[in-house]
């Protein structure tokens, strides 16, 4: 692979998406939201009434799906981090529901689903400067990335961020419920048999609990500039 690759892993609601988007914009890199691909897979299965517990059925329906992703155009700048297209339909916001989020965590357990999506992710990044974020980017998707980052924050801080995200979309949910769901998502992501969330040995761990999104993005940009000089 050619190009400069930034791999960012971390738990849900750690700010990976927003940070990655800011870093990509400031460096002129392509931003790739891998989590959106798993969300699209879950949405695809849910729409087709395919059980998320049926691995073979999920894989089968994924094989014929047309998945695309791009940076938002001027007319699409409505707060989204990326524009995701499923079979020709813009589903950027439709994949951000709690039901789809839970479904994404389920389908991400399946080796064949991950294999297909990882191949798509690697093809996109092959000859470009990219910022890619997810759960297994640093050791599975971009194992030779020039900069590997594990972005995290306290679970309460992440729950508060997630609650705010939902409230801005008109979804009223208690902090206690969001916190409980976040802890369950953490458990699933770290304990799954296939490509679990983990910190690789050469990762730069950034705790964003006491930092603003802008501060986190800036320290990453500065590190990239140092590595490129």
Question: For 21-42, how does the pLDDT look when each residue is reduced to its tens digit (9 = 90+)?
Answer: 999 999 989 899 888 999 999 9
Nearest to 165 by CA among 80, 56, 50: 80
Query: Is residue 173 a part of any domain in this protein?
Result: yes
Query: Is residue 32 a part of any domain in this protein?
Result: yes
> Which tokens is 155 given?
């679970």
Question: Could you give the CA distance from residue 229 to residue 225 in angstroms, rounded to a whole number?
Answer: 6
Q: DSSP readout, 36-103?
A: HHHHHHHHHHHHTT--TT-HHHHHHHHHT--EEEE---GGG-SS-SSEEEETTEE-TTGGGSHHHHHH
Question: Pairing relation of β-strands 5-9 and 83-86?
Answer: unpaired
Query: Is residue 224 a part of any domain in this protein?
Result: no
Query: Is residue 86 a part of any domain in this protein?
Result: yes
Phi and psi of 172, rounded to 5°?
Answer: -90, 115
Taking 3-state DSSP, the helix, strand and coil percentages for the chain, each rounded to the nearest 5, stand at: 50, 15, 35
In the predicted structure, residue 123 carries a pLDDT above the cut 90: no
What mean pLDDT do residues 83-99 have? 93
Query: Is residue 21 a part of any domain in this protein?
Result: yes
- The count of structural domains within the chain is 1
Domain that holds residue 191: 5-218
CB 16 within 8 A of CB 161: no
pLDDT of residue 194: 80
**How many CA atoms, within 13 angstroms, populate the side-chain half-sphere of residue 25?**
13
Phi/psi region, residue 16 (left: phi>0; alpha: psi -120 to 50; beta: rest), is alpha
Question: Could you give the CA distance from residue 55 to residue 51 in angstroms, rounded to a whole number?
Answer: 8
Query: Is residue 223 a part of any domain in this protein?
Result: no
CATH code of residue 83: 3.40.50.300
> Which tokens is 134 given?
């997810």
pLDDT of residue 169: 82
pLDDT of residue 195: 87
Query: Is residue 130 a part of any domain in this protein?
Result: yes
Share of the chain above pLDDT 90, in %: 76
**Which of the four pLDDT bands, split at 50, 70 and 90, describes residue 2?**
confident
CB 45 within 8 A of CB 170: no
Residue 154 neighbours by CB under 8 Å, 6+ apart = 209
Name the least confident of 56-65, 70-79, 179-188, 196-205: 70-79
**Which of the four pLDDT bands, split at 50, 70 and 90, describes residue 1?**
low
In the predicted structure, residue 120 carries a pLDDT above the cut 90: no
Query: Is residue 226 a part of any domain in this protein?
Result: no
């Amino acid at each position: 692979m050619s190009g400069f690759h930034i791999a960012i892993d971390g738990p849900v609601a750690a700010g990976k998406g927003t940070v990655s988007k800011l870093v990509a914009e400031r460096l002129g890199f392509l931003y790739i939201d891998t989590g959106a691909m798993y969300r699209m897979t879950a949405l695809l299965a849910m729409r087709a009434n395919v059980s998320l517990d049926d691995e073979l059925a999920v894989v089968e329906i994924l094989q014929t799906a047309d998945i695309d992703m791009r940076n938002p155009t001027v007319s699409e700048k409505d707060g989204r981090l990326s524009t995701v297209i499923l079979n020709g339909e813009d589903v950027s916001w439709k994949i951000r529901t709690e039901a789809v989020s839970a479904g994404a965590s389920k389908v991400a357990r399946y080796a064949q689903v991950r294999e297909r999506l990882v191949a798509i992710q690697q093809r996109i990044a092959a000859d470009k400067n990219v910022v890619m974020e997810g759960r297994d980017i640093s050791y599975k998707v971009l194992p030779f990335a020039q900069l590997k980052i594990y972005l995290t924050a306290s679970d309460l801080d992440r729950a508060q961020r997630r609650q705010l995200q939902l409230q801005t979309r008109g979804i009223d949910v208690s902090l206690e419920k969001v916190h409980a769901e976040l802890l369950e998502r953490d458990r699933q992501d770290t304990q799954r048999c296939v490509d679990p969330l983990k910190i690789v040995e050469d990762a730069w761990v950034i705790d964003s609990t006491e930092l603003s999104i802008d501060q986190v993005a800036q320290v990453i940009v500065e590190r990239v500039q140092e590595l490129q000089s």
